[in-house]
Amino acid sequence: MCARRVQTFRPWIVRDYIKCTGCRLCEITCSIKHEGRIWPEASRIRVFMLVPGVEVPHLCAQCSNYPCVNSCPVEALSVHKETGAVLVDDEKCTACGSCIKACPGEVPHLHPDRKQVVICDLCDGDPECVKICERAGYFALFKGNRTESINYDLYAKNPEEIAANLVINLYGEKGEEFI
């Protein structure tokens, strides 16, 4: 009898940057979920507009080697076994910023009111930002299944890098004037 390998669903938030309108519904719904009120500054996803007409939803890519987790001197960060999301232990986090410096996309950021960092936790595998983006009909964010065939580290870029690529994609050579 041959044993079957069980495939597990590991959620990942797929980004289609060109479809982002900058409505910021993702920031609003995330802050309501995690903070109990509309507070985009405390959202685990942030939308940047570095060039007019180019909106960049920015969130954790769940890098393969989790440099943020490995850099934490107080072990306040861990990886959720089922989802692969980075979890922050609010009691342990000292807001030292090691994880921010270690993250190739500079995704973790300091909470505006508490001494801790915030990082996308994938809402326990059912991301609210994805649901609102789909409900609004934009589909700039949608839920996918994390697979071994994709290098997710490629998504770990800072907003400036992403915006530069988008500007060239949207405006061609003329886009270089905006960068």
The reported pLDDT for the residue numbered 3 is 54
The reported pLDDT for the residue numbered 28 is 98
The reported pLDDT for the residue numbered 175 is 83
For the ranges 93-102, 127-136, 148-157, which has the lowest average pLDDT? Answer: 148-157
The mean pLDDT value for 68-79 works out to 98
Quick one: what percent of the chain has pLDDT higher than 90?
83
Cβ atoms within 10 Å, residue 114: 13
Cα–Cα distance between 33 and 101 in angstroms, integer? 26
Cα–Cα distance between 88 and 16 in angstroms, integer? 27
Confidence (pTM): 0.90
Q: Give yes or no for residue 4 having a pLDDT over 70.
A: no
Domain-wise residue ranges, the chain: 15-177
The reported pLDDT for the residue numbered 116 is 96
* Helix axes 128-135 and 25-35, enclosed angle (nearest 10): 140
The reported pLDDT for the residue numbered 7 is 52
Domain 15-177 annotated CATH 3.30.70.20: yes
The reported pLDDT for the residue numbered 173 is 85
One-character DSSP codes across the chain: -PPPPPP---EEEEE-GGG-----HHHHHHHHHHHSS--GGG-SSEEEEEETTEEEEE-----SS-HHHHH-TT--EEE-TTT--EEE-TTT-----HHHHH-TT---EE-SSSSSEE---GGGGS-HHHHHHHHTT--SEEEEE--TTS-GGGG---HHHHHHHHHHHHHGGGGGGT-
The reported pLDDT for the residue numbered 5 is 52
Computed over every residue of the chain, the mean pLDDT equals: 93
- Give the pLDDT confidence of 114-152 residue by residue, as tens digits: 999 999 999 999 999 999 999 999 999 999 999 888 899
Q: Give yes or no for residue 178 having a pLDDT over 90.
A: no
Nearest to 43 by CA among 143, 132, 136: 132
- Give the pLDDT confidence of 46-67 residue by residue, as tens digits: 999 999 989 999 999 999 999 9
